[in-house]
């Protein structure tokens, strides 16, 4: 689920620290169930069928911070 929210109205639970200084005042807030919520200024598709082939290239898991990072490539993007 995603919604467009003015920067001044973004919940304090959303980390804006990694956004570039020149990011728009209107931000897309992406929520993945009860798991994650973040601000995003990237491109989004309307349907996953628009992505093409999704291939995981590497992943790392930091057990101390419990952070899983997944790196991927999109092949044959439509």
The predicted pLDDT at position 77 comes to 57
Predicted TM-score (pTM) of the model is 0.54
What b/e string do you get for 30-65 counting C-beta neighbours within 10 Å, with b at 16 or more?
Answer: beeeeeebebeeeeeeeeeeeeeeeeeeeeeeeeee
The predicted pLDDT at position 63 comes to 95
21 against 68, higher pLDDT: 68
The predicted pLDDT at position 59 comes to 97
The predicted pLDDT at position 64 comes to 95
| Domain 1-44, CATH number (from 3.30.70, 1.10.3470, 2.30.29, 3.30.54) | 3.30.54
pLDDT, tens digit, 9 for 90 and up, residues 29-78 = 988 888 888 888 777 788 888 888 889 999 999 999 999 999 999 887 55
- Cβ atoms of 19 and 10 within 8 Å: the answer is no
Extents of the domains making up the chain: 1-44, 46-78
Angstrom distance (rounded) from CA 13 to CA 38: 9
């Amino acid at each position: 689920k995603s919604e467009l929210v003015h920067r001044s109205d973004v919940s304090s639970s959303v980390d804006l620290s990694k956004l570039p200084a020149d990011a728009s005042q209107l931000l897309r807030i992406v929520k993945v169930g009860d798991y994650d919520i973040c601000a995003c200024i990237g491109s989004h598709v309307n349907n996953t069928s628009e992505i093409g082939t999704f291939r995981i290239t590497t992943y790392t898991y930091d057990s101390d911070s419990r952070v899983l990072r997944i790196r991927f490539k999109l092949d044959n993007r439509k």
